[in-house]
Amino acid sequence: MKKQAFNPYLPSWEYIPDGEPYVFDGRIYVYGSHDRYNGQVYCMNDYVCWSAPVDNPGDWRCEGVIFRKTDDPFNPDGRMCLYAPDVVRGEDGRYYLYYVLDKKSCVSVAVCDSPAGKYQFYGYVRYPDGTLLGEREGDEPQFDPGVLMENGKVYLYTGFCAPGDKSRKGAMLTVLDSDMLTIRKAPVTIAPSEPYSAGSGYEGHEFFEAPSIRKVNDKYYFVYSSIVMYELCYAVSDSPEGPFTYGGVLVANNDLHIGTYKPAEKPMYYGANNHGGLVEINGEWYIFYHRHTNGTNFSRQGMAERVEILPDGSIPQVEMTSCGLNGGPLRGEGEYPAYIACNLFCSTDNIYSGGAGKNGFWLDSRFPRIMQDGADGDVCDAYIMNMTDSACCGFKYFAFEGVRRVHIRVRGYCSGRFQVMTSWNGPVLAEIPVDYTDVWTDYSAEVSIPDGVHPLYFRYAGPGTAALLSFSLEK
């Protein structure tokens, strides 16, 4: 039976950010870095791969560890982390994994006969004289490789450019030979960093990191994270070598700039860095990206949204949703886990989850967050913690028909009520009183939700702190 697809698309205990999605032989494969729950830095775990059938994108399976950090000759003791990778199928039919270690500026490559691994170390991207890319005088440090194979050439896009850093000019393109390693054309800049953007069309959305490349029809779409971190932008060219013209924002992991269901500059989640890529699944295009959990920058989860490529080649920004790969709204009945909330906020707005925000690396204690009870790797359901007065979680979208009762599963030192709404700021359709409890406890109330496709919001009002594990819709 076909499963409903949720966001995040992987289980709540898995933390795969920087997702690069591909369809190989009827399956969707996603390659990303691998965060650790309660980790203190990015990308602490080994690479794993997940895949799903193209006709059932809610049915993901773990393919296991495909490459360990100690598999790289520069990292035999595992002291360096594996940053965001990308994969490309070579002309020989094998699959090549490009990545960068967190304390090296060169690009490493591993290879495998199948997309799901296990990958074996292959070599380092190098100039014809053997000098590694990133180590020649004048080279900028390498970071976040994105790759495209076409006509016997590998187009390698890399770069990291912090705002104000004049030593880095922008996203770089290096062309490699068909051996997947040897440089055919030295790096050139294809999208500007902030100090070099005047008059470019990229102003305010200059290149920061996370280059990704896809060919759509006869155009090349360069996807990247801008200097504000939370948004993925795109630029378009007629050639993989550019020039690339700035196109717009694809998705923001706090829903900034979306003005359809709320004020455009109101954040509806706690954002931070972002990274992802485009993929076509059954004739529809999707953008993969990630969100932040646990009140930090270091426990990120993969998300996906359907995008529309207009006849002129532009792609309007899409909302964060709970139903990403589902192909439509979720069924308006049955039980749903709270961790699929795509909106999470309270009366005090905050754009960032931490790191780049005013609250440091940890989310302010006023704000709700998604977390789990178990340790990293434990198979357990996540939940929403710290639902204090005014905290609100939202789920988009459901196809409602005849819903007459809502159930919630709650625990915590709280003595208030959850208000049920179909928009982020009301009106209130029902109130569900809750009380102090150390164990997950079920509460319910009658409600009349209008038939049709709507979001669903739960807002806590009252003293104390509640945790929300799940909710159920009953006809």
pLDDT, tens digit, for every residue of 422-460?
A: 999 989 999 999 999 999 999 999 999 999 999 999 999
Return the closest-CA partner of residue 422 out of 386, 385, 459, 387: 459
Mean pLDDT of 112-131: 98
Is residue 362's pLDDT more than 80? no
> Which pair of structure tokens corresponds to residue 314?
């532009």
> What b/e string do you get for 250-278 counting C-beta neighbours within 10 Å, with b at 16 or more?
bbbbbbbebeebbeeebbbbbbbbbbbbb
Is residue 101's pLDDT more than 70? yes
Q: pLDDT confidence of 363, banded at 50, 70, 90?
A: low
| Residue appearing with tokens 């006849």 | 311
pLDDT tens-place string over residues 276-313: 999 999 999 999 999 999 999 999 999 999 999 999 99
Catalytic residue among 72, 194, 209, 305: 209
Q: What is the pLDDT of residue 236?
A: 98
Is residue 358's pLDDT more than 80? no
Q: What is the pLDDT of residue 357?
A: 42
Is the C-alpha dihedral spanning 56, 58, 63, 69 positive or negative?
A: positive
Is residue 353's pLDDT more than 90? no
By three-state DSSP, how is residue 325 classified?
helix
> Which pair of structure tokens corresponds to residue 393?
């979680």
Q: For the chain, report the end-to-end CA distance as a whole number of angstroms.
A: 22
Residue 144 contacts residue 158 (beta carbons within 8 Å): yes
Percentage of the chain exceeding pLDDT 70 = 97
Residue 393 contacts residue 344 (beta carbons within 8 Å): yes
Percentage of the chain exceeding pLDDT 90 = 96
Is the C-alpha dihedral spanning 86, 89, 91, 96 positive or negative?
A: positive
Return the closest-CA partner of residue 462 out of 368, 364, 391: 391
Phi and psi based region of residue 78 (left: phi greater than 0; alpha: psi -120 to 50; beta: remaining): left
Domains of the chain, each with CATH number or no CATH: 20-328 (2.115.10.20), 334-474 (2.60.120.260)
Amino acid identity for residue 420 in this structure: V
Is residue 273's pLDDT more than 80? yes
Residue 296 contacts residue 289 (beta carbons within 8 Å): no
pLDDT tens-place string over residues 396-422: 999 999 999 999 999 999 999 999 999
Is residue 360's pLDDT more than 60? no
DSSP 132: B
CA separation for the pair 22, 29 (Å, rounded): 5
By three-state DSSP, how is residue 407 classified?
strand
pTM over 0.75? The answer is yes
Is residue 156's pLDDT more than 90? yes
Q: Which residues lie below 8 Å from residue 217, measured CB to CB, with a gap of 6+?
A: none
Q: What is the pLDDT of residue 355?
A: 44
Is the C-alpha dihedral spanning 45, 41, 204, 165 positive or negative?
A: negative
Mean pLDDT of 327-353: 96
> Which pair of structure tokens corresponds to residue 361?
């690396």
> Which pair of structure tokens corresponds to residue 460?
């806590």
Q: What is the pLDDT of residue 365?
A: 72
DSSP bridge pairs for 97: 87, 110
CA separation for the pair 340, 294 (Å, rounded): 14
Neighbours of 105 (CB within 10 A): 17
Phi and psi angles of residue 302, each rounded to the nearest 5 degrees, phi first: -75, 140
Q: What is the pLDDT of residue 354?
A: 62
CA separation for the pair 249, 461 (Å, rounded): 35
Whether 77 is a known active-site residue: answer: no
Mean pLDDT of 136-148: 97
Is residue 361's pLDDT more than 80? no
> Which pair of structure tokens corresponds to residue 8?
């995040």
Amino acid identity for residue 106 in this structure: C
CA separation for the pair 448, 44 (Å, rounded): 46
Angle in degrees, CA 380, 371, 423, rounded to 5? 110
CA separation for the pair 160, 211 (Å, rounded): 9
Is residue 59's pLDDT more than 70? yes
CA separation for the pair 179, 27 (Å, rounded): 26
Is residue 158's pLDDT more than 50? yes
Q: pLDDT confidence of 341, banded at 50, 70, 90?
A: very high
Whether 209 is a known active-site residue: answer: yes
Return the closest-CA partner of residue 294 out of 367, 231, 360: 367
Catalytic residue among 18, 20, 194, 319: 18
CA separation for the pair 138, 118 (Å, rounded): 35
| Beta strands, E only, 32-135 | 47-53, 61-67, 86-89, 95-99, 108-112, 120-124
Amino acid identity for residue 378 in this structure: D
Give the pairing of strands 466-474 and 170-176. unpaired
